[in-house]
């Protein structure tokens, strides 16, 4: 540590001791020296100066060095190294044990030996310098880890979005359906009081709800008009196909996506597919995506249908409340719909 920049705080009630230390330190090249004979001023000066080392007498009037040590330790973070060098004529084992237990790093006995003073202070400042350098290096490494983690998460989200777009490419070439379903699902989840992390997972994972469509033949997926029973049975398989594609991931977002892909066509009353799950047997994320997917499909043109107005879609959702849709999800969706579009929903 650069001597000229090192800040040294000296706390000693004896003017003679302070003068002696100041002369020694100035001759050794230390310039930023701060002193006080009043131990009560030690803490305020410590906070104002931010010293690199404190030289502290033990036996002083009004407040002992032990009391000052106690105050300083409350201000020194456990992860930092800020040495306190005790100045004392008390060389009893009890005094040393107490001072060390309260955070002192070393002792100087009075009367002072100039060489010993300079060496002890230099060693402690060098240790502090090394600690600060290591701490700075750790902070740099942690920042790099944070940046790399953020890059990986961004890449993961981008891959997820591209994969979601691929799943919709044959019947929604813009890929906007997956994005809209994700956004709506996230907002409905938030309206239902879910934690921010859960909202983020649902918003991202919802975009993969129809990834299983890549396993459905074009003649079924792209057919205009209604499916015959056999075609509908084929179409229903996209839930299981999607879940199989996403199965086995160790990433929470893909685990959530697996559940959504599998359950987003289940119905609150148990008449949905693929398993006929009922009520809260259906994961909440699946119940949310079931509604927002339904709404988005109704209000946008598809190869097999024209778009509905928002009001028509709302009327249909209300008719299906308690049958197709979870009433709690409907309530949250209507709140989000009002906030996003201004559409007033009447009971």
Confidence of residue 227 (pLDDT cuts 50, 70, 90): confident
Confidence of residue 347 (pLDDT cuts 50, 70, 90): low
Q: Note down the domain range covering 85.
A: 7-141
CA distance 242 to 212: 4
Q: How would DSSP label each residue in 17-36?
A: HHHHHHHHHHHTT--EEEEE
- From 124, 141, 158, give the residue that closes a domain: 141
Does 61 score more than 90 pLDDT? no
Higher pLDDT, 344 or 238: 238
- Report the b/e string of 156-181 with b at 16+ CB within 10 A: eeeebbebbbebbeebbeebebbbbb
Which residues lie below 8 Å from residue 324, measured CB to CB, with a gap of 6+? 267, 268, 269, 272, 290, 294
For CA atoms 289, 294, 297, 303, the dihedral sign is positive
List, for residues 307-334, the tens digit of each pLDDT value.
899 999 999 999 999 999 999 999 999 9
Higher pLDDT, 148 or 304: 148
The answer as to whether 162 is a domain residue is no
Give the pLDDT confidence score for residue 187 in this predicted structure: 97
342: left (phi over 0), alpha (psi -120 to 50) or beta: left
Together in a domain, 116 and 208: no
Together in a domain, 104 and 178: no
Confidence of residue 22 (pLDDT cuts 50, 70, 90): very high
Confidence of residue 90 (pLDDT cuts 50, 70, 90): confident
Together in a domain, 207 and 322: yes
Does 174 score more than 70 pLDDT? no
The answer as to whether 1 is a domain residue is no
The CATH number assigned to the domain holding 90 equals: 3.40.50.2300
* Mean pLDDT of the residues in the chain: 88
Which residues lie below 8 Å from residue 247, measured CB to CB, with a gap of 6+? 258
Q: What whole-number percentage of the chain has pLDDT above 70?
A: 94
CA distance 225 to 113: 99
Confidence of residue 304 (pLDDT cuts 50, 70, 90): low
Does 149 score more than 60 pLDDT? yes
The CATH number assigned to the domain holding 309 equals: 1.10.3210.10
Does 38 score more than 70 pLDDT? yes
SS3 301: coil
Query: What are the C-alpha distances in Å from 2 to residues 5, 21, 31, 47, 127?
Result: 5, 19, 10, 21, 12
Give the pLDDT confidence score for residue 280 in this predicted structure: 96
The answer as to whether 164 is a domain residue is no
Together in a domain, 75 and 111: yes
Give the pLDDT confidence score for residue 103 in this predicted structure: 84
Count CA atoms closer than 13 A to 300's CA, side-chain side.
Answer: 17
CA distance 265 to 238: 10
Give the pLDDT confidence score for residue 100 in this predicted structure: 85
Domain count, the chain: 2
The answer as to whether 37 is a domain residue is yes
Give the pLDDT confidence score for residue 316 in this predicted structure: 95
Does 206 score more than 70 pLDDT? yes
Query: What are the C-alpha distances in Å from 234 to residues 167, 213, 246?
Result: 16, 10, 19
Confidence of residue 345 (pLDDT cuts 50, 70, 90): low
Give the pLDDT confidence score for residue 107 in this predicted structure: 84
């Amino acid at each position: 540590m650069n001597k000229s920049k090192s800040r040294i705080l000296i706390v000693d009630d004896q003017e003679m001791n302070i003068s002696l230390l100041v002369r020694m330190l100035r001759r050794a090249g230390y310039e930023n020296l701060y002193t006080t004979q009043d131990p009560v001023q030690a803490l305020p000066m410590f906070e104002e100066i931010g010293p690199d080392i404190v030289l502290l007498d033990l036996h002083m009037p009004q407040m002992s060095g032990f009391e000052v040590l106690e105050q300083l330790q409350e201000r020194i973070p456990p992860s930092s190294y800020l040495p306190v060098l005790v100045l004392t004529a008390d060389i009893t084992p009890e005094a040393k044990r107490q001072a060390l237990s309260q955070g002192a790093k070393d002792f100087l006995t009075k009367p002072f030996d100039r060489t010993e003073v300079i060496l002890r202070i230099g060693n402690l400042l060098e240790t502090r310098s090394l600690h600060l350098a290591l701490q700075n290096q750790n902070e740099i490494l942690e920042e790099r880890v944070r940046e790399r983690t953020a890059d990986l998460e961004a890449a993961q989200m981008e891959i997820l979005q591209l994969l979601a777009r691929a799943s919709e490419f044959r019947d929604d070439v813009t890929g906007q359906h997956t994005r809209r379903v994700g956004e709506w699902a996230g907002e409905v989840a938030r309206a239902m009081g879910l934690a921010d992390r859960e909202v983020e997972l649902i918003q991202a994972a919802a975009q993969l709800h129809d990834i299983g469509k890549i396993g459905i033949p074009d003649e079924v997926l792209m057919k205009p008009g209604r499916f015959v029973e056999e075609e509908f049975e084929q179409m229903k398989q996209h839930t299981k196909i999607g879940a199989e594609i996403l199965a086995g991931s160790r990433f929470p977002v893909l685990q959530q996506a697996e559940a959504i892909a599998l359950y987003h066509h289940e119905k609150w009353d148990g008449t949905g597919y693929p398993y006929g799950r009922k009520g809260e047997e259906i994961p909440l994320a699946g119940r949310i995506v079931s509604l927002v997917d339904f709404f988005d499909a109704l209000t946008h043109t598809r190869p097999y249908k024209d778009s509905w107005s928002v009001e028509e879609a709302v009327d249909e959702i209300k008719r299906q409340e308690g049958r197709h849709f979870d009433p709690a999800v409907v309530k949250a969706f209507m709140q989000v719909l009002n906030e996003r579009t201004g559409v007033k929903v009447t009971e």
